[in-house]
Structure 1
Amino acid sequence: MDIILASASVRRAELLKKITSNFKIKVSDFKESDIPFSGNCGDYVMNLARGKAMDICSSVKKPAAIIGCDTIVYFNGKVLGKPKDSVEAFQMLSDLSDNTHEVYTGIAVINTETQKISTEYVCTQVKFSKLSDVEITKYIETGDPFDKAGAYGIQGAASLFVEELKGCYYSVVGLPVNKLYFMLREMGVNL
């Protein structure tokens, strides 16, 4: 059975390699804006992940396990997506400074042979140290915040901002490998 990652994320591909090197990538064209946020972060990321996985189902001809994922940052009652510009990135990072926020990653696995769909999510709490305006500006100038939810990547230069983490580090990067490993096993995927 093929394993297909429905994501263009280099970080997710790197993490999936921790489980198996035998997978393919098919980028999903699913529009995240099609799923409204109803206030439940877990449901939201699972629905987004399911949408991404379902989007490529029709293009897969051989039996496969399709993996869809989505990650959001949640702080103060708001979902922080990818910043549209440096002003928004600065605001997000200023808000997260000296505060604890939550990172939710949803996973959907579809077995195209059995049509079974499994969805799960992981929530991790991340505490940032107090950041100066200069630190935030320097980080934004690296260009790193612009393709990441919450305007930061924990695996890069923003690792310096993280004072404490409760939960799964890999979930914050974008793919909770432990959760995915057991989901794939439960779906009958031999790894």
Structure 2
Amino acid sequence: MDLNIILASASERRHELLKRITEDFKIIISDFDEDSIAFRGNFEEYVKSLSEGKAREVSNLCDEECIIIGCDTIVAFNGEVLGKPKDRQEAFDMLKSLSGNIHEVYSGITIIRNKDKHVLSQSVCTKVKFSYLTEEEIITYIDTGEPFDKAGAYGIQGYGGVFVESIEGCYYNVVGLPMNKLKSLLKEII
């Protein structure tokens, strides 16, 4: 792809995944205030709003012709959004609640073509089933430090992958960037 692509994300996982689609992109980290978007019960609309806020924030900083990619991922369980845990106790509580249960991972992707401000925004949902976790397993996992920068307090691509009994949908969505959806959106906006 011979485009000026900008990824509006600080996530190392998203950087690595985008490299599988194109090596030619820049990173501009968005300062978008995620707390400015209230969750109103619709997970798909919520993640699309978050991803669009990130993409628009970076779009406003760019005066060049470019394609801006914004993305956000959440874990949904029992009607609630599980974000990144603030501390050990919150990580423990999240993992304990996911133990033995099915939850959903939603990602919103927004692409902005900066020259005409054309916006495409979609969401992807993947169902994830966790096996039963003992308290010792949860504490050992928390001790790795991995849960603290991950929605839902786990990373499927890391140590947390051992908890995943099955998934229904896109694996890369759970990692944080649904590549198949992103590739199709890029084709559509070019």
Query: What TM-score range do you get, normalising by the shorter chain?
Result: over 0.9
Counterpart in the other structure of 1:172: 174
Matching residue's letter, 2:141? Y
Matching residue's letter, 1:104? Y
Matching residue's letter, 2:52? R
Q: Which moved more, 1:79-88 or 1:57-66?
A: 57-66
Counterpart in the other structure of 1:104: 106
Counterpart in the other structure of 1:144: 146
1:49 and 2:51 are equivalent in the alignment: yes
Partner of residue 161 from structure 1, selected from 158, 163, 168: 163
Deviation of 1:57 after TM superposition, in Å, equals: 1.1
State the TM-score, normalizing by the size of structure 1.
0.97
Matching residue's letter, 2:114? T
Counterpart in the other structure of 1:72: 74
| Helix, strand or coil at the partner of 1:154 | coil
Aligned-pair identity in percent equals 57
Matching residue's letter, 1:165? I
Q: Distance in 1 between matches of 2:130 and 2:60?
A: 42
Partner of residue 25 from structure 1, selected from 27, 30, 39: 27
Counterpart in the other structure of 1:62: 64
Partner of residue 36 from structure 2, selected from 28, 34, 42: 34
Misfit runs of 4+, over 6 Å: none
> How many pairs are equivalent?
188
Deviation of 1:61 after TM superposition, in Å, equals: 2.1
Counterpart in the other structure of 1:90: 92
Q: Deviations over 1:46-88 (max 9, x none)?
A: 0000000000112212100000000000001110000000000
Q: Distance in 2 between matches of 1:19 and 1:57?
A: 21
Q: Distance in 2 between matches of 1:114 and 1:60?
A: 12
Unaligned runs of 5+ in 2: none
Deviation of 1:114 after TM superposition, in Å, equals: 2.1
Q: Distance in 1 between matches of 2:84 and 2:21?
A: 27
Matching residue's letter, 2:15? A
